[in-house]
Amino acid sequence: MLAVPLSIHADALAWVEARIAKRFAVPQMTVAEAQAALRAAPNEWLVLDVREPEEFALSHLPSAVRVDPGLSVEEFSARYSEQVAGKTVLLYCAVGQRSSQLGEAISDSVDAAGGQGVANLQGGIFRWQAEGGALVNATGPADEVHPYNWFWGLLRPRQSAN
């Protein structure tokens, strides 16, 4: 678990992003990089949402597939080996902690299945939303992001009032 400073400052999410990048060996991809890559070659990516069902139901990235945060490497291989062949796997969660952990765990499995590697969305869905990324749910476009819990919800960048 990451220790977060008690005083939440203007961009505490950036602090968490930096800690995650230091802690995990999985490459981090910015929102701008991810949006450009997904736009340029959408069929070359498998986007995995590493959050709980209620988080995914509220909103997720277009084309994302939800996977359980506790998914084992064996379960991942059994379920997704065919889907990752020739693709890069982009993982995300609320801030990048759970997705980086899973990304590090499945990296070798992705390579063995003929995948093109694994990347984590830096700052997760919180950063994606803050930078204007599209969100959807089962009924169409969405604009809310699940806070995960009250504490992590404090890291959601605030939208300026118009």
**Domain locations along the chain:** 26-152
Candidates 102, 127, 154; CA nearest to 18 is 127
pTM: predicted TM-score of the whole model, two decimal places: 0.90
CATH fold for the domain made of 26-152: Oxidized Rhodanese; domain 1 (3.40.250)
Residue 15 CA to residue 2 CA, distance in Å, equals 11
Residue 144 CA to residue 135 CA, distance in Å, equals 8
Query: 39-81: per-residue pLDDT in tens?
Result: 999 999 999 999 999 999 999 999 999 999 999 999 999 999 9
